[in-house]
Chain A
């Protein structure tokens, strides 16, 4: 009985020592800013595969529209610095989708847009390239920008069919 108690005391003392060392190691790791901090694993959540189609938030309006001058001005705002040549076409969003192969589903395919090509510098968010030209999709009803694509060179080598 006495021996068992001694064993437990030894065990407890060792446990305390190891815990103290462990805690100190943890403190050092947390106190060192450059050190990586591990991600704490949590119970997994099942990803939402087979998500439902989005109901478009921007439907076709039928007008009134902002007009060419306002569309050009909206596209100009995107440039970093002075711009050169500009061209625009009045299209449906589906024309832009057919050109790029990409679609933001909050926009209905029939939504009226101005597609404006600009020779000018465009820089997007961090990590994006610096482009010498760009193509902007401007909402024909509100004047808001909906999408922008970097051009290749000072004038895009590839454009929607409506520009041919």
Chain B
């Protein structure tokens, strides 16, 4: 009976400790600090050094951008990136990215276009084989979709290649990127990207509701794992406004933050 009476106290102690432990976990050890990207409001996952897949599940909620902003090259996009810090040549990186962007930005064939679309980009060998590709226009229908990338040894879509898939179908097959066992030090990034390279950001011109339901990674045995907060960093490379808009990973995200 005495233990029962103390249950609320134990519960309260646990609740009170949550913000403290979560902050400590999210701060991490700085392993994502080498992220080279700008204007991201993203989260980075850095457990392990080799991944065979990355996955997110999100509702296709509104990504808003004005016609004027899109026409000048602004965009807002949800991205998912696997990035490898290569051992050779030393210090170089490569990456594979898939995203859903509102405002074409520099997407090939849709530069500065006011529309929502899927794209993929990659750099198998920095400054030499960087590539950008339009996939197809994207809906804005609040439907939950899983999308990501994974290494396939044998599947209906590909053999010994990376596959980008969206909502259950393969959208791209990439053979130019290293197989997972040949990567050196991979990280997974996901979140919102707002703006264009070097341009001022304005929360009145591009904003988004970010309904992120799930983010997972796949290890070398092809087992999927949900992100563990112990290995997650949120916004670590962004700093504070005005150098970067901040994202709030509380289920719904909105960048109604001070304009730069």
Residues of A within 8 A of B (CB): 4, 7-8, 11-12, 14-15, 18-19, 21-22, 25-26, 29, 33-42, 44-54, 57, 77-78, 100-106, 123-129, 131, 136-137, 139, 144-152
Q: Which residue of B lies closest to A27 (CB)?
A: B19
Q: Which residue of B lies closest to A57 (CB)?
A: B136
Extra contacts besides A15-B12, A39-B249, A41-B226 (10): CB < 8 Å: A33-B240, A42-B213, A45-B146, A51-B170, A52-B156, A53-B170, A101-B175, A102-B122, A106-B171, A125-B193
Number of A-B contacts (CB under 8 A): 235
Q: Which residue of B lies closest to A100 (CB)?
A: B176
Contacts A38-B249, A105-B173; A129 near B227 (Cβ below 8 A): no
Contact in complex: A145, B109 (CB < 8 Å) = yes
Which one of A8, A146, A152 lies within 8 Å of B5 (CB-CB)? A8
Contacts A39-B229, A47-B148; A124 near B234 (Cβ below 8 A): no
Contact in complex: A38, B127 (CB < 8 Å) = no
Which one of B17, B25, B132, B249 lies within 8 Å of A40 (CB-CB)? B249
Contact in complex: B157, A53 (CB < 8 Å) = yes
Residues of B within 8 A of A (CB): 1-2, 5-6, 8-9, 12-13, 15-20, 22-23, 25-27, 36-40, 43, 53, 55, 57, 95, 105-111, 120-123, 126-136, 144, 146, 148, 150, 155-157, 163, 165, 167-176, 193, 195-197, 212-216, 218, 222, 224, 226-227, 229, 232-236, 239-241, 246, 248-251, 257
